[in-house]
Amino acid sequence: MTKIGIIGSKGRMGQALVAAISEARLELAGGVDKDDDVAGLIAASDVLVDFSSPHALEATLDACIAAHKPIVIGTTGLEERHHYLIDDAAQDIAVLQTGNTSVGVTMLAVLVREAASRLGPDWDIEIVEMHHNKKVDAPSGTAMLLGEAAAKGRNIDLAANSERGRDGITGARQTGTIGFASMRGGTVAGDHSVILAGNEESITLSHRAENRAIFARGAVKAALWLTQQQAGRYTMTDVLEI
């Protein structure tokens, strides 16, 4: 039986993962949080799932490499340097990193990429997301994942073609850019909409998470899949083969 270890076990996602592992009749190797024995958990696990914080990622990856254990990274708020660390780790172990482990969101990203590739830059793309009032990063990891999907569809660099934090007199919207808007409130697990606005018509592609259990189930599915893979960097589209 596959033993799954949780990094960030006391958080909302950590608790949801415990339930999902039990639901799937798999074995929970244990969980760690800040200042706990990460190396000990990794040694006892077949695969790790990390929903902790970005500042702990480097040490976690080093420990996984040393033990040669695969890891699913669902932590959001990652910076460019974290992605370099993940690329380096993927030379030695299997790493799956994603802004969202939901099967539905993964399919949404595919649809967004396809729509963006088919519609010209005169169709403005806006990504709107809402989460609970305890979420600390914005835009959400899912919003960034959807933004990357749109940018890939248009064959452009997202960082150089995005608009965020509009306030005051900002001037007209630049053609071809991808806009982001973030809202926070209540206990919303995650609502995301990608709006493609053209001349006198628009398309909205949306996903609503009714319970964070969907993310936990997707992470468990990804963890099981990852145990069968060679060293490399993977995403949820690899898991779903889409």
Helices marked H in 90-129 — which ranges?
Answer: 103-118
Selecting among 3, 55, 69, 135, the annotated active-site residue is 135
Supply the DSSP symbol for 139.
S
Let me know if 134 is a catalytic residue.
Answer: no
User: How far apart, in whole angstroms, are the C-alpha atoms of residue 45 and residue 68?
Assistant: 11
Contact (Cβ atoms closer than 8 angstroms) between residue 46 and residue 4:
yes
Q: How wide is the angle at C-alpha 139 spanned by C-alphas 110 and 114, nearest 5°? A: 15
User: Phi then psi for 79, rounded to 5 degrees?
Assistant: -105, 175
Contact (Cβ atoms closer than 8 angstroms) between residue 204 and residue 195:
yes
Q: Counting Cβ atoms within 10 Å, is residue 236 exposed (0-12), middle (13-18) or buried (19+)?
A: buried
User: How far apart, in whole angstroms, are the C-alpha atoms of residue 138 and residue 104?
Assistant: 21
Let me know if 69 is a catalytic residue.
Answer: no
Contact (Cβ atoms closer than 8 angstroms) between residue 208 and residue 222:
no
Selecting among 131, 192, 207, 221, the annotated active-site residue is 131
By annotation, the residues acting in catalysis are: 131, 135
